[in-house]
Amino acid sequence: MAELPIPDVSPARCSGRFTISTLLGMEEAGRGPYTPTEGSSCDSAQPTQLSSSTLYTRTFGYNTVDVVPAYEHYANSKGVGDPRKGRPSLADLHSILKPDPSRLCTPVSDVQHSNGLPEAGPEAGLEEAEGEPGRDSEPEPVRFGWVKGVMIRCMLNIWGVILYLRLPWITAQAGIALTWLIILMSVTVTTITGLSISAISTNGKVKSGGTYFLISRSLGPELGGSIGLIFAFANAVAVAMHTVGFAETVRDLLQEHNSLIVDPTNDIRIIGVITVTVLLGISLAGMEWEAKAQILFFLVILVSFINYLVGTVIPATAEKQAKGFFSYRADIFAQNFVPNWRGPEGSFFGLFSIFFPSATGILAGANISGDLKDPAMAIPKGTLMAIFWTTMSYLVLSATIGACVVRDASGSLNDSVAVGSPGCEGLACSFGWNFTACAQQQSCRYGLSNYYQSMSMVSGFGPLITAGIFGATLSSALACLVSAPKVFQCLCKDQLYPLIGFFGKGYGRNSEPIRGYMLTYVIAVGFILIAELNAIAPIISNFFLCSYALINFSCFHASITNSPGWRPSFRYYSKWAALFGAAVSVVIMFLLTWWAALIAFGIVIFLLGYVLYKKPDVNWGSSMQASSYNMALNYSVGLSEVDEHIKNYRPQCLVLTGPPNFRPALVDFVGTFTKNLSLMLCGNVLIGPRKQKMPESWLMADGHTKWLMKRKIKAFYTDVVAEDLRSGVQMLIQAAGLGKMRPNILVLGYKRNWRTASPQSLEDYVGILHDAFDFKYGVCVMRMKEGLNVSQVLQAHVNLTFEAAEHPENGTGSRAAPGTAADPTTLASEQQASTIFQSKQGKKTIDIYWLFDDGGLTLLIPYLLGRKKRWGKCKIRVFVGGQINRMDEERKAIVSLLNKFRLGFHEVHILPDINQKPRPEQLNDGFKDEATVNEMRQGCPWKISDEEVDKNRAKSLRQVRLNEILRDYSRDAALIAITPPIGRKGRCPSSLYMAWLETLSQDLRPPIILTRGNQENVLTFYCQ
C-alpha cells in the first residue's frame, strides 16, 4: 500500500512499530524514494489533506492512497489503460508522493459501503443516464421486468395467424406425430438461439439496440452493421405483413356480411393504413401505453385459447358433427396420428417451411433491451419461458384438434346415416355420418384437411377465435413497430452508414426514436399500399433467419476464441450447439426459399463489404479481435517450428525512422517492398531520462501507429528509452520481433551532418553499423539529395511535440520539447508529406552496382521494388566490376548466374575501368602531424591524418572513382543500389569510413541505397 504523508507526527507514537517504508529505509541505509520522510515515517489513522474519509483507516489501520474496490471504478470502462473514476494512478502509488488535491481523486467512501457497492445518491456520468441508481434530478424512464418486457412480448410475437389458421391443416397433412416433430425441430432452432441470446446478453451490460447491439458488440461492426440495417428493415416490412393479415381477416368478415367498403383489394389498403396509424399512435404515446396494449392483446389470446379448449369438451352439436367435429375420440386420434399427404405442399419439408415462421419472434424482447430493468436477467428468463409456453401451446393444440376432428367432412346435415350402414367408408361412419362421396371426389369443404377455420368451429364461441386472430396479428405488428425504430436508433448512433444519423435522435425520458417511428410508419404504409407481400415475405423470413444464424455464430465464435472477456453469467449454453444452430438456420433459409436466401446473403455481403471498406473508427472488443489475436499467436508459434530455408527468405526490416512522420521517404521506401511480403518495424530511440521519456512514449506510440495506417504502410512501431542513441539501437536490434518474425536488415538514413556533429554522435552512428554486422544483420543506408528529415517543416506547420532530432539524418533519436503536450490523434490527422516513392517512376532505370558478393541482398531489394506497380516499368540494370580483357566472359557468367536466380535481369554491364585512378581529390586539410590531428578532432572530428589516408589510399581512391562512374552512368536513374565498403572494426576510423560513404554517394540526383548483406545467401537457384 502506498502511504499518505502525515505532517507533524510525533515519533513517540511509532514506538515499537515498523512499516514497509521503514524497513526499506533500514535496508538501503539512506534516503531513497521509499524511505520515510518527515511526517510519514509511520502509519497513522489521522486524515490528511488528500482525503477526509476515515474508511480506509478503519479498513487497513492507517491512511493510504489506495482505495477499496468500488463499482464506480469499473463503470463506463472502455479500453485497456484508460483511467478509472476515483482510482489512483500507478504513478500515485509507485512514485514519490507529492500531495496534489487537484490530481488525486477523493476516495468514494462517502457514497459507498465498505464492500464497494454504490448507494443511491447523486452521481454524474453516462451510467446514470443509462438507468443506474443514484439519479434523482430527472424522472426515471419506464423500465420493464422479464414478464411484461420479454416473455409476454415474445409470446405475442411468436403466436400468429398460423397458429389459428394453419396448424390444424398441418396436423391433418403430417399427422400428429410428424406435426410434433415439425414443432420440435423448429423449437430446437429457436431454443438454441435463445440460449445463445442468453449467453451474449449476460456477458456485460446490455444497452438499447437489441439484436443489432448483441451481434455488433460480439462480432464487430462489419457483420453487426449489415444485420442491424436489414433487421430493422425486416421489422418495418413485418409491420405491413401482420397488418395486412389483420386487414384480410376484417375484409373476409365484411364480405360475409356483404359490407365491403370499396372492393376487396382497396379494402385491405384502407383498413391496413388505418390500423397501422392507430398502432403508431399507441407507440408514440410511450412504451408504457404500448405495454398496456400488449397486455390487452395477450389476455384476448389467452381467452381465445381457453374458449377453444372448453369447446373441445362440449358435446358436439349436429352442425358441428356435419363439419367433422365429434369431441375426443381415440380412433380419431389414431387415424390423425399418421400422415396423409395431399396437394403440392404435401411433404414434410413443405409443411416445415410453412410452420417455421410461426416459431420465430423470439427476438421481440431483446429488441427493447434499452427499456428493460435488468436485461441480463430479463432476456434469458423471458425468452426461454416464452419459447417453453408457446411450444406447449402448439403441441397441445395439435394433439387436441387431431383427437376431435376428422380429416374430411361435407358439412351437410343430410349426410347422417345409421351406424353400420352399407356403402359407408371412413371413420365417420362409426359416428353415424357418411362423408364417402365428397371424400372420394376430394370435394369436402370441411374437416381438418379442408377447413382452415377448424379452431373457430370447435371453439365454444367462434367470434373469440376471430378476436384471438386479431390479437395475434396486431400484437405482432405492434412489436415489430417498436422493434424496428429501437434497433435502427442504435445503428444510427454508431454512424456505420452515411445519411442515417438524422434518425438516431431520442426524445423524452425513454429516449424514444420518434423519427425512427415515422420512418417505420412510412415503410409499412408503402408496403401496405403495394398489397403484394407474397413476394417480399420469404425475403423477410430469411432476414430473420440471418439474424438467428449470426446470433448463434456470435456465441460460438466468442466461446471458441477463449477470450478472457467472454464470461457470460448464463452458463447453460454450448458452443457446439450454437454452431449447429447457425448451420441449421442457414439450411432452413434455403429450404424455405432458395432464391430469397441468395438475395439475403447478397445484401448482407454488400453491406459487409461497405463497412469493411469504410473501416469505422469503433472499438467494441469484439470476438473478431480476439480471433485475430488467436490466429496471430498460433501462426507465430507454428512459425517457430519451421526451419528456415533460403527459398523462404524475406527481408524483415528494422527501420530507424525516429518518429515515422519525420522521415516519410525512408518509411515509403521500405514499405513499398515489404508490403504484403515481410516484416517492417519502425524503431525510435527516445534519448533522455526514463522518467521524463516514458510518458512521451506512452502518449505518442498510438499516434505513430495511426500515422502509418493512414499512410497505408503495413508496419509496426516501437520505441525504447535510452541514455544514448547507440545503446537504444542495440536494444532494438536484440529485442525487436517475435520468434521467427524478427528483423534481419537494419535500414537507416545517411548521416548528412557527420562533419559538424559531435565526435560521440559520429562514433555512435558508425558503431551502429558495426553493431548490426555483429548481430548478423544486413545493412541498408539510404541517402537522398534533399535529405530525409522533414521534422523542421512539421514543427513549423503541424507537430509541436518534438524538437529537431539531435541527429537529423541518422534515422532515429528524438528529444521532446519540454512542456509540450500532444494529442495522439494529431499525427494521424496531419497532412501527409508526399515522397518520390509514392509516385510512378515511368520508364526510368533501377541501377544495381553489385560490386561485392554479399549473399545477394543488393540484388533482392531492387528486384522486390521492381515488382510493385509504381516501379514496374523501370528497367533494371546490373553493373559489376571486371577486367577489360575478359569482359565478354565475365558478362556471360553474370548473366548466367542471374538467369539461374530467375530475377529477370537481362541488362548487365561490366565496369573494366573501376580501378582507374580518379581525379585528384583532397581528403584532408593538409595536416601531416598525427598529434596535431588528434588535437583538432575535438572540434573537427572528420579530420584524418595522412598516415591513415596512406593506409587506406587504394580503398579511398576507389570510392572517388566509383562516384565518377555513378555520375556518368546513372545520372537519370530512378534509384541506385550499390554495395558499400565495410570499414574494419577497430582499424578504420569512423571519420574515414564516413568520408568513403560521403565520397561514394555525393552529388547524385537519384536516391541511393547502400546495401550490404551479412555474407549469407538470400538467393538460391536450387528447388530444395
Predicted confidence (pLDDT) per residue in 231-241, tens digit: 888 888 888 88
pLDDT over threshold 80, residue 743: yes
Give the Å distances, CA to CA, from 924 to 433, 668, 933: 127, 36, 10
CA angle (80 as vertex; 713, 575 as ends), nearest 5: 90
**pLDDT band, residue 657 (cuts 50/70/90):** very high
pLDDT over threshold 90, residue 756: no
Q: 128-142, 290-304, 497-511, 777-791: lowest mean pLDDT where?
A: 128-142
User: 367-389, pLDDT tens digit by residue?
Assistant: 888 778 888 888 899 999 999 99
DSSP 792-853: HHHHHHT--SBPPPSSTTSS--B-BPTT----HHHHHHSPPPP-GGGS---S-EEEEE--S-
pLDDT at 109: 41
**pLDDT band, residue 766 (cuts 50/70/90):** very high
pLDDT at 729: 95
Burial class from Cβ neighbours inside 10 Å (0-12, 13-18, 19+) for residue 116 reads middle
- CA-based torsion, 407, 410, 416, 420: positive or negative: negative
**pLDDT band, residue 604 (cuts 50/70/90):** confident
pLDDT over threshold 70, residue 656: yes
pLDDT over threshold 70, residue 619: yes
Residue predicted with more confidence, 141 or 960: 960
User: 308-327, pLDDT tens digit by residue?
Assistant: 999 999 888 888 888 888 88
pLDDT over threshold 90, residue 740: no
> For a pLDDT cut of 70, what percent of the chain falls above it?
80
Best-predicted range by mean pLDDT (169-178, 610-619, 629-638): 169-178
- E strand or H helix at 965, and its extent? helix 953-969
Task: Provide mean pLDDT across the span 108-118.
Answer: 40
pLDDT at 105: 44
Contact between residue 49 and residue 7 where contact means Cβ atoms under 8 Å apart: no
Burial code of 33-57, b = ≥16 C-beta within 10 A, e = fewer? ebbbeeebbbbbeeebebbebebbb
List, in order, residues 6 or more apart from 220 with CB less than 8 Å away: 620, 622, 623, 624, 625
pLDDT over threshold 60, residue 820: no
pLDDT over threshold 80, residue 472: yes
pLDDT over threshold 90, residue 942: no
Task: Provide mean pLDDT across the span 351-376.
Answer: 83
List, in order, residues 6 or more apart from 236 with CB less than 8 Å away: 480, 484, 519, 520, 523, 524
pLDDT over threshold 70, residue 974: yes
Q: β-strand 778-783 against 1008-1012: which pairing, if any?
A: antiparallel
d(CA 245, CA 357): 14
CA dihedral 282, 285, 290, 291 (to 10 degrees): -150
**pLDDT band, residue 521 (cuts 50/70/90):** very high
d(CA 465, CA 445): 20
pLDDT over threshold 70, residue 16: no
Residue type, 770: H
- pTM value is 0.72
Q: 50-54, 275-279, 472-476, 665-669: lowest mean pLDDT where?
A: 50-54
Contact between residue 214 and residue 197 where contact means Cβ atoms under 8 Å apart: yes
**pLDDT band, residue 865 (cuts 50/70/90):** very high
Give the Å distances, CA to CA, from 219 to 225, 457, 567: 10, 49, 16
pLDDT at 389: 94
Residue predicted with more confidence, 622 or 337: 337
Residue type, 817: A
User: 23-66, pLDDT tens digit by residue?
Assistant: 344 444 444 444 344 434 443 334 343 443 455 555 566 666 77
Contact between residue 849 and residue 879 where contact means Cβ atoms under 8 Å apart: yes
Contact between residue 997 and residue 755 where contact means Cβ atoms under 8 Å apart: no
Determine the 3-state secondary structure of 923 from DSSP.
coil
pLDDT over threshold 70, residue 329: yes
d(CA 699, CA 816): 12
Task: Provide mean pLDDT across the span 728-755.
Answer: 92
**pLDDT band, residue 927 (cuts 50/70/90):** very low
Residue type, 27: E
pLDDT over threshold 90, residue 797: no
pLDDT over threshold 50, residue 543: yes
**pLDDT band, residue 858 (cuts 50/70/90):** very high
Mean pLDDT (the chain) is: 79
Determine the 3-state secondary structure of 680 from DSSP.
strand
Contact between residue 369 and residue 201 where contact means Cβ atoms under 8 Å apart: yes
C-alpha cell at 941: 572530428
**pLDDT band, residue 823 (cuts 50/70/90):** low
Residue 722's beta-bridge partner residues? Answer: 687
User: 70-107, pLDDT tens digit by residue?
Assistant: 767 766 655 444 544 567 776 676 666 555 554 444 44
Give the Å distances, CA to CA, from 898 to 432, 521, 878, 957: 102, 72, 10, 29
Contact between residue 683 and residue 733 where contact means Cβ atoms under 8 Å apart: no
List, in order, residues 6 or more apart from 636 with CB less than 8 Å away: 738, 739, 740, 741
pLDDT over threshold 70, residue 1005: yes
Residue 233 has phi, psi (to 5 degrees) of -65, -40
Task: Provide mean pLDDT across the span 811-824.
Answer: 45
